[in-house]
Copies of this chain bind each other. A is one copy, B any other.
């Protein structure tokens, strides 16, 4: 490895030590000794709990596509990078075990930026007892390039897939929607924004516990995370399940953001991505709060293939996926 890469690895190791006490390469780090060997060999070694299957997800966070350095503080970029992966594990009802980071940095990037990026990532990892167990480092020809891989586990045959929704099932979402898109709207307009007033954009919380809860109860017939926007992700779920849906405009929980705080426009809640809430279907009535997060019924699965939006006066119109196009750079 060239020297810049070696020093990056040292930095990652140091960050790990400071954030995740009592962890070393062969410490059997993570929950229940599931990371046998981490950064420093050709591969990392993980132990998947007996009777469980492994879950694997990968997500790019590319400068200019998924974030901008002039808009996003480095801690937020690191946080969002890992949140994307954890949210995918949540959407299967799984438990995250370890994260792997492939990180390419431009030659001129300030060390402080990288340190804060890793701080943001490792703080979220620590919150979810996830080890950063390996990855790759490289010089980048242009911009910061990150790819996060999260490996998790789920009891055998119990993963909640996208394809299980059945006509008549109720449709639920966790938390509230559109807060992340509302932040982007402000950023695009060039107006000033207080990051703390838009937590769902700068520090989204992946719904790992809620996903595990509905999976363990056997409540969800299908599940997906809302990364591309409700209209797009609901259409993915319906397509994989071979069904349609009707959702009530007035029932969609809209995020409250900004300062002074206000509820976001319905368009952001319908089509805005990157909120990392869960969308799931169930044949049962679900409590309105699970694992510390609100759960809202927003509609029903139907036999047809269309996705219909019902407004407050009962009129129905077909909606099409208009999800997340990332940054229009």
Once A59-B102, A141-B142 are accepted as A-B contacts, the answer to whether A43 and B152 lie under 8 Å apart by CB is: yes
Q: Which residue of B lies closest to A150 (CB)?
A: B43
Task: Decide if B55 touches A44 in the complex (CB within 8 Å).
Answer: yes
Q: How far is the CA of A57 from the CA of B37 in the complex (A)?
A: 12
Q: How far is the CA of A66 from the CA of B102 in the complex (A)?
A: 14
Q: Is A185 an interface residue (CB 8 A)?
A: no
**How many copies of this protein are present in the complex?**
2
Task: Decide if B45 touches A57 in the complex (CB within 8 Å).
Answer: no
Task: Decide if A159 touches B45 in the complex (CB within 8 Å).
Answer: yes
Number of interface residues of A (CB under 8 A): 70
Task: Decide if B55 touches A43 in the complex (CB within 8 Å).
Answer: yes
Q: Is A133 an interface residue (CB 8 A)?
A: yes
Q: How far is the CA of A265 from the CA of B78 in the complex (A)?
A: 44
Q: Is A299 an interface residue (CB 8 A)?
A: no
Task: Decide if B159 touches A58 in the complex (CB within 8 Å).
Answer: no
Task: Decide if B159 touches A60 in the complex (CB within 8 Å).
Answer: no
Chain B contacts for A149, CB-based, 8 A = 56, 58, 100, 149
Q: How far is the CA of A59 from the CA of B224 in the complex (A)?
A: 28
Once A88-B42, A162-B42, A325-B2 are accepted as A-B contacts, the answer to whether A58 and B142 lie under 8 Å apart by CB is: no
Q: Which residue of B lies closest to A162 (CB)?
A: B41
Identify which of B60, B136, B142, B326 contacts A143 (C-beta below 8 A).
B142
> Contact flags (1/0) for A127-159 with B, using CB distance below 8 Å?
000000111101111110101010110101001
Identify which of B56, B88, B98 contacts A133 (C-beta below 8 A).
B56
Task: Decide if B42 touches A92 in the complex (CB within 8 Å).
Answer: yes
Task: Decide if B232 touches A104 in the complex (CB within 8 Å).
Answer: no
Q: Is A63 an interface residue (CB 8 A)?
A: yes
Identify which of B58, B94, B143, B162 contacts A100 (C-beta below 8 A).
B58
How distant is A13 from chain B, measured CB to nearest CB, in Å?
13
Among the listed stretches A46-54, A250-258, A303-311, which one makes contact with chain B, having 4 or more residues with CB under 8 Å of it?
Answer: A46-54
Q: How far is the CA of A47 from the CA of B156 in the complex (A)?
A: 8
Once A48-B54, A138-B326 are accepted as A-B contacts, the answer to whether A43 and B104 lie under 8 Å apart by CB is: no
Q: Is A161 an interface residue (CB 8 A)?
A: yes
Q: Is A261 an interface residue (CB 8 A)?
A: no
Q: How far is the CA of A232 from the CA of B1 in the complex (A)?
A: 8
Task: Decide if A102 touches B56 in the complex (CB within 8 Å).
Answer: no
Task: Decide if A65 touches B139 in the complex (CB within 8 Å).
Answer: yes
Q: Is A62 an interface residue (CB 8 A)?
A: yes
Chain B contacts for A139, CB-based, 8 A = 65, 326
Task: Decide if A91 touches B42 in the complex (CB within 8 Å).
Answer: yes
Q: How far is the CA of A145 from the CA of B62 in the complex (A)?
A: 10
Q: Is A64 an interface residue (CB 8 A)?
A: yes
Q: What are 12 of the A-B contact pairs (CB < 8 Å)?
A: A36-B159, A42-B91, A42-B162, A44-B57, A46-B56, A47-B156, A58-B100, A58-B147, A58-B149, A59-B102, A66-B138, A147-B147
Known: A36-B159, A46-B55, A65-B139. 17 other contacts (CB 8 A): A2-B324, A2-B325, A40-B162, A41-B161, A42-B91, A43-B92, A43-B159, A45-B54, A47-B54, A48-B48, A56-B134, A58-B101, A60-B145, A62-B145, A65-B104, A136-B147, A145-B145
